[in-house]
Amino acid sequence: MTVATGMKKTTLLGLLALVIRRDLVLAMRRRADVLTTLIFFVMVVSLFPLGVGPEMDMLRKMAAGVLWVAALLSSMLSLGRLFSADYLDGTLEQMMLAPQSLSMLVLGKMTAHWMVSGLPLVLMAPVLGLQFDMPVQALGVLIIGLLLGTPILSMVGAIGAALTLGLRGGGVLLSLLVLPLCIPVLIFGTGAVEAVSTGLSAVSHLSLLGALLVLALVFTPWVTAQALRISME
Amino acid sequence: MAINWFKYSAPTTFYGLAGKLIPWFAISSAILFVVGLYIGFAVAPADYQQGEFYRIIFIHVPSSILSMFLYLVMAGYAALGLIFNTRLSAMMATAIAPTGALFAFISLWTGALWGKPMWGAWWVWDARLTSELILLFLYLGFIALHASIDDPRRADRASALLAIVGSVNVPIIYFSVKWWNTLHQGSTIKFSGTSMHVAMQQAMFITLAACWLYAIAVVLARVRSIILERERNTTWITELPEVRS
Written as tens digits, the pLDDT of chain B (245 aa) is: 566 767 777 888 888 888 888 999 999 999 998 998 888 888 777 776 677 777 888 888 899 889 999 999 999 999 999 988 888 899 999 999 999 999 999 999 998 888 888 778 888 777 778 888 989 999 999 999 999 998 888 899 999 999 999 988 888 877 777 777 654 555 555 545 556 677 888 888 999 999 999 999 999 999 999 998 888 888 887 888 877 77
Distance from C-alpha of B192 to C-alpha of B171, rounded to nearest angstrom: 24
Does residue A163 carry a pLDDT above 60? yes
Supply the pLDDT for residue A7.
Answer: 47
Q: CA of A4 to nearest chain B CA: how many angstroms apart?
A: 29
Please, are residues B207 and B33 in contact by the beta-carbon 8 Å criterion? yes
Q: Sort out which chain B residues have CB atoms less than 8 A from A164's CB and list them.
A: 145, 148
Provide the pLDDT for residue A22: 92
Mean pLDDT highest for which of A7-16, A199-208, A212-221, B231-240?
A212-221
The helix (run of H) or strand (run of E) holding residue A214 is: helix A203-232
Report yes or no: A188 at the B interface, CB cutoff 8 Å. Answer: yes
Give the span between the Cα atoms of B167 and B159, in whole angstroms: 12
Q: Would you say the C-alpha torsion A20, A26, A30, A36 has a positive or negative sign?
A: negative
User: Is A184's Cβ below 8 Å from some Cβ in B?
Assistant: yes
- The pLDDT > 90 percentage for chain A reads 46
Say if the Cβ atoms of B145 and A163 lie within 8 Å. Answer: yes
Extended strands (E) in chain B? none
Q: Is A54 in CB contact (< 8 Å) with chain B?
A: no
CB–CB contact B144 A168 (8 Å):
no
Give the whole-angstrom CA distance, residue B18 versus residue A62.
53
Chain B positions in Cβ-Cβ contact with residue A181 (cut-off 8 Å): 165-166, 169, 173
- Name residue A15's beta-bridge partners: none
Task: Check residue A9 and give its pLDDT.
Answer: 63
How many contacts, defined by CB atoms under 8 Å, are there between A and B? Answer: 65
Q: What is the pLDDT of residues A106-125, one digit of tens each?
A: 999 999 999 999 999 999 99
At A66, the pLDDT band (50, 70, 90 cuts) reads very high
A158 touches chain B (CB under 8 A): no
pLDDT at B181: 61
Q: Smallest Cβ distance to A230: which of B154, B165, B169?
A: B154
Which of B149, B165, B175, B181 would best serve as a mutation to test chain A binding (most A beta carbons within 10 A)?
B165
Q: Which of B75, B68, B44, B5 has its CA nearest to residue B203?
A: B44
How many CB atoms sit inside 10 A of residue B241's CB? 6
In this complex, is the C-beta atom of A191 within 8 Å of any C-beta atom belonging to chain B? yes
- Chain B residues within an 8 Å CB radius of A183: 134, 173, 176-177
pTM (two decimals): 0.86
Using a CB–CB cutoff of 8 Å, tell me whether B76 touches chain A: no
Contact list in A for residue B148 (CB cut-off 8 A) is 164, 167-169, 173
pLDDT of B75 reads: 93
> What's the pLDDT score for residue A53?
85
The answer to whether A183 contacts B176, with C-beta atoms less than 8 Å apart, is yes
ipTM given for this complex: 0.84
Amino acid of residue B138: L
Average pLDDT, integer, range A165-183 = 86
Instruction: Report the distance separating Cα B75 and Cα B193, nearest Å.
Output: 32
Contact B140 A176 (CB under 8 A): yes
B184 three-class SS: coil
Inter-chain touch A163–B141, beta carbons under 8 Å: no
Nearest CA to B118 among B64, B53, B56? B53
What is the nearest CA distance from B199 to chain A, expressed in angstroms? 38
Alpha-carbon span B181 to B130, nearest angstrom: 10
How far is residue B173's CA from residue A150's CA, in Å, rounded to a whole number?
17
Beta strands in B79-228 (DSSP E): none
User: Is the pLDDT reported for residue A224 higher than 70?
Assistant: yes
Highest mean pLDDT among A84-93, A192-201, B22-31, B125-134: B22-31
Contact A226 B161 (CB under 8 A): yes
Any CB–CB contact under 8 A between B111 and chain A? Answer: no
Give the tens place of pLDDT for each residue, B93-114: 999 999 999 999 999 999 888 8
Query: Above 70 in pLDDT, residue A1?
Result: no
